[in-house]
Structure 1
């Protein structure tokens, strides 16, 4: 009988960590949104695609714009009351039309569904309280959540922008060993956190003042007009970290 021990079992791949899973999810989401590093397209085209193109821009802007216009033009100057039901109904109805249009066209409707659910929840809250400004309250919660997550991730050295960029560019979390990349990803996360904080600093006082028209205007101005340039800067910064030496 041989006393030679059996050969050791080959070690399998290490189990993915929580940061790996999160980074993979963020990277995949960025690629699905149109941020494809393999595509030979200009920054403007990439950013426009990431916003969903013309349809995505309309889905993002029109429901809020319709609410703002209807609420403003139906406000009685004497009493200060507006037709809240009409403003919210048209806004949510428009979001529903966009969702149905995507389903009919068999295009990805995840974002449209998310927008419809958010619009419906916000409208339900505003109708329940009878205050038009409460239509913006869920947006504040979203800004707090996103801004806090980005800020904390930067401070602990695991920038969410870095996790998304690392997996999008094919290096996973290896960027954390590069001081330059860590510094860039840190400041990108801080910049995005500052955007969400700025929205809150401007809009929350308007909410407590009950100025729905000013609040709706501020939301539109601080939406895509600020989101798009910061997305472009982020895309350019990430691309600069990974020269196309492989070509």
Structure 2
């Protein structure tokens, strides 16, 4: 009589081990989820059925968002320019910085009082404060623009690298929003479109640096501030529209799921 014991049930029915997803894909999925969530909060959801104009306007934050983005910088450059002393060629730095940061603080306070989301306003206040600190500590008005240069360099590099390594940031965000994760990478058409969209965004940030840095080194504060405004929302909005239309073209039959009525 055999004394060999029967295999344990869990040994007989043991399922094959699942292969964990590559770390690269997992990290990219996490980045895509973060980018997609941010895009959705900004009203840029390709599955939302919104018009291009509505999406672009939502991405800019409406009239309030436009004012919060533009006015602090506009006030700084206007006040600095009109207070320039012909003898020294310098404007009133402290007055310009004070009014610029002050208007950003007012926007933030107004949102707090109205119990509205303060992310955009706080972001504008922090940006104005950091820029003002650079200028105040050095006594050079042109240094007010250094944080903007750093931001453009970081964003431009991120978009460029993501495109070159085949993990376009636009693709990661769109993949999350459209519910396909990183599956778009197996579609040559989507990869190509997302590659060029990332390159377009990288080019926008690079163009800002190429145009504005020479003015910074020339210490031409008025021209630098003016071009910063011109190359801000006026270039951002059309690129948002192009990105939106391109993504919608890649997913023409996708629509938001209908809500199931409660039983």
* Deviation of 1:113 (Å): 1.3
Query: What is the CA–CA distance in structure 1 between the aligned matches of 2:157 and 2:192, rounded to whole Å?
Result: 19
Aligned to 1:76: 85
The counterpart of 1:26, out of the listed 27, 35, 51, is 35
Distance between the aligned counterparts of 2:171 and 2:238, measured in 1?
Answer: 19
Residue 142 (1) aligns with residue 146 (2): no
Matched, 1:199 2:208: yes
- Deviation string, structure 1 residues 136-163 (Cα, Å, up to 9, x no partner): 0010000000000100110010001110
Q: Tell me which residue corresponds to 1:66.
A: 75
Are residues 1:165 and 2:169 paired? no
C-alpha displacement at 1:91, in angstroms? 0.3
Q: Which runs of 4+ in 1 moved over 3 A?
A: 9-16
Larger Rg: 2
Alpha-carbon shift at residue 41 of structure 1 (Å): 2.2
Determine if the alignment matches structure 1 residue 109 to structure 2 residue 118: yes
Q: 1:216 aligns with which of 215, 225, 247?
A: 225
Equivalence for 1:8: 14
In 2, the alpha carbon distance for the partners of 1:39 and 1:159 equals: 22
2:111–2:117 Cα contact (<8 Å) kept: yes
State how far apart, in whole Å, the 1-side matches of 2:135 and 2:123 are: 18
CA distance in 1, matches of 2:103, 2:75: 9
The reply on whether 1:91 has 2:97 as its aligned counterpart is no
Counterparts in 2 of 1:101 and 1:12: CA distance versus 1, 3 Å: farther
Cα distance in 2 for partners of 1:34, 1:50 equals 6
Alpha-carbon shift at residue 5 of structure 1 (Å): 3.7
Which shifted more, 135-144 or 163-172? 163-172
What is the total number of aligned residue pairs between the two structures?
A: 247
C-alpha distance in 2, partners of 1:229/1:188? 12
CA displacement at 1:125 relative to structure 2: 1.1
Cα deviation, residue 25, structure 1? 0.4
Q: Mean Cα displacement is larger for which, 209-218 or 77-86?
A: 77-86
TM-score by length of 2: 0.89
**Using the alignment, how far apart are the partners of 1:194 and 1:78 within structure 2?**
39
Equivalent residue runs for 1:46-61 within 5 Å: 46-61=55-70
Higher mean displacement: 2-11 or 154-163: 2-11
- Rounded to whole Å, the distance in 2 between the matches of 1:84 and 1:180 is 51
- CA gap of 1:13–1:35, structure 2 versus 1, over 3 A, is farther
SS in 2 for 1:17: helix
One of 229, 233, 239 as aligned partner of 2:238: 229
CA distance in 2, matches of 1:48, 1:11: 49
